[in-house]
Amino acid sequence: MRLTSFTDYSLRVLMYLALDPERTATVAEIADAYGISRLHLNKVVLELGQAGDIETSRGRNGGIRLAKPANAINLADVVRRAEPDMELAPCFGNARACVLGRCCLLQGVLQRANHAFVAELARHTLADLVGSGGPTASTFLTRPPERPTARPRSRATPRRKSTGAARAAAKA
């Protein structure tokens, strides 16, 4: 079984936020930290917000953060929501798709394997993935500083356009 990138990114967003649950992060910050698409991450964040795992806020100081403690977010629940199809073979959803039909023993083996996979995920929460001071935390030890608030520009000193000569003089 291979999890989709959507599921992978869902887990990564939650792990990132769990490292500092009181802090608000941005989609751009998380995308940069993992080197993944911001557009795809926006879809992930939307679903995590609708599921109640994260809180989102818009505006200048907006961002995302965990909506509940990391130990209240079960990994099996996250994966089940993010994976569109947990069936391991085409015949799971359509009995006619299997030429062996009822005598196929592979289907039962694969179903038990899938149940074992989900059961293992169900034993763990988000808190188990980040721990205190574990490898995930050490990867992001150098967190970006809080976003400063913008200072208003003085009307008395208008912005000057830089010319090529001015830039050359500044370099010298």
pLDDT of residue 141: 43
More confident residue, 108 or 77: 77
pLDDT of residue 56: 92
Provide the percentage of residues in the chain whose pLDDT is more than 70: 69
What's the chain's average pLDDT?
Answer: 80
Would you list the domain boundaries of the chain? 5-85+125-144
Highest mean pLDDT among 47-56, 85-94, 133-142, 153-162: 47-56
More confident residue, 90 or 106: 106
pLDDT of residue 142: 45
Closest CA to 22 of 53, 64, 59, 57: 64
Q: Which residues contact 114 (CB under 8 A, 6 or more apart)?
A: 1, 86, 87, 88
Per-residue pLDDT band at 111 (split at 50, 70, 90) = confident
pLDDT digits (tens, 9 = 90+) for 22-50: 889 999 999 999 999 999 999 999 999 99
pLDDT digits (tens, 9 = 90+) for 137-156: 555 544 444 444 444 444 55
Per-residue pLDDT band at 95 (split at 50, 70, 90) = low
* Mean pLDDT for the stretch of residues 83-109: 73
The CATH class of 5-85+125-144 is mainly alpha
Rounded distance, CA 30 to CA 72, Å?
A: 22
Closest CA to 25 of 55, 64, 66, 52: 64
pLDDT of residue 148: 46
pLDDT exceeds 90 at position 166: no
